[in-house]
């Protein structure tokens, strides 16, 4: 479903030029759970942002379900971001001014989902993530674990094919981290493809495959059974 060919990303500022990605070739099949690991600064987040259509590569090709992303219109890309990809970040990235319910509802508002369907889907996602009892709270009134469960509810509410997670347990204690990993594992078992950046070998154990990056390149890949 996902394929990159010789993906490169250069960041140029006035003083320095950084090669964040230096020829990434990778393939992720439908239903896979892939962990991306590697030292700080090796290009993990840059890669995830490109895979999530939040950023464009400087060179190389990215195919999303057989279509080259560079050949899509911005409108088509935006539609994919909204409908087919869910994002989970280390720092949760919830909107402070919106309640838990409203944060989770947002993707469906963007997709213009009808009100009754919206309500059903939001409630389903909140139940699923065991955060229904906090539906009218604001993010600042929640624990880290509750915020991340809200963020996962927001990521899955539109039923995306692909979830991209950038160090999803990075700001959580081990108990809440474990809970988040179990939820991601369940979503994967139900068929959602997951690509997750992590520093934690324990979290990477939930994945089928580990892709190790170093200096913007894939250095090794390990498969679990
Ligand atoms: N927007 C940006 N502008 C300039 N340099 C950047 C930008 N984003 C990332 N970089 C640089 O690209 C490299 C890879 O960064 P990143 O993908 O965030 O690494 P990781 O997530 O593996 O820690 C780093 O050297 C970083 O400083
Ligand atoms: Mg990063």
Q: Where are the domains of the chain?
A: 2-223
Ligand nearest to the CA of 47: 1
Assigned CATH for 2-223 = 3.40.50.300
Q: What percent of the chain has pLDDT over 70?
A: 99
Q: Between the CA of residue 193 and those of 140, 180, 190, what are the distances in Å?
A: 30, 16, 9
pLDDT of residue 146: 96
Taking only the tens place, the pLDDT of each residue in 118-160 is 999 999 999 999 999 999 999 999 999 999 999 999 999 999 9
Q: What is the gyration radius of the CA atoms in the chain, in angstroms?
A: 17
pLDDT of residue 193: 97
Token reading at 101: 């319910």
Q: Max alpha carbon distance in the chain (Å)?
A: 53
pLDDT of residue 221: 79
Mean local confidence (pLDDT), 207-218: 96
pLDDT of residue 220: 87
pLDDT of residue 187: 96
pLDDT classification of 224: cutoffs 50, 70, 90 = low
Q: Is 202 in the pocket of ligand 1 (CB under 6 A)?
A: no
CA 27 – ligand 1 centroid, Å: 22
Q: Is 50 in the pocket of ligand 1 (CB under 6 A)?
A: no
pLDDT of residue 223: 76
Q: Is 65 in the pocket of ligand 1 (CB under 6 A)?
A: no
pLDDT of residue 222: 81
| pTM check: above 0.85 | yes
Q: Atom of ligand 1 at shortest distance to CA of 9?
A: 12
Q: Between the CA of residue 36 and those of 57, 122, 169, 182, 212, what are the distances in Å?
A: 18, 30, 14, 18, 6
Distance between CA atoms of residues 107 and 126, nearest Å: 14
């Amino acid at each position: 479903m996902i394929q990159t060919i010789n993906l490169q990303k250069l960041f140029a500022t006035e003083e320095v030029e950084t090669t964040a990605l230096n020829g990434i070739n990778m393939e992720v099949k439908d239903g896979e759970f892939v962990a991306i690991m590697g030292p700080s600064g090796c290009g993990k987040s840059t890669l995830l942002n490109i895979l999530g259509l939040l950023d464009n590569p400087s060179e190389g090709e990215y195919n999303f379900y057989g279509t080259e992303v560079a050949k899509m219109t911005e409108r088509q890309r935006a539609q994919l971001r909204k409908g087919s990809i869910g994002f989970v970040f280390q720092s949760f990235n919830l909107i402070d001014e919106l309640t838990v319910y409203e944060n989770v509802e947002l993707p469906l508002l963007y997709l213009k989902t009808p009100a009754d369907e919206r309500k059903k889907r939001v409630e389903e996602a909140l139940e699923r993530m065991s955060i229904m009892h906090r539906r009218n709270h604001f993010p600042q009134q929640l624990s880290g674990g509750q915020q991340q469960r809200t963020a996962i509810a927001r990521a899955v509410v539109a039923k995306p094919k692909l979830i991209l997670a950038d160090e999803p347990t990075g700001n959580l204690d081990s108990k809440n981290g474990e809970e988040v990993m179990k939820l991601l594992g369940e979503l994967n078992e139900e068929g959602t493809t997951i690509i997750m950046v992590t520093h934690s070998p324990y979290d990477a154990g939930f994945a089928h495959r580990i892709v190790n990056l170093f200096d913007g390149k894939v250095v090794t890949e390990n498969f679990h059974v």
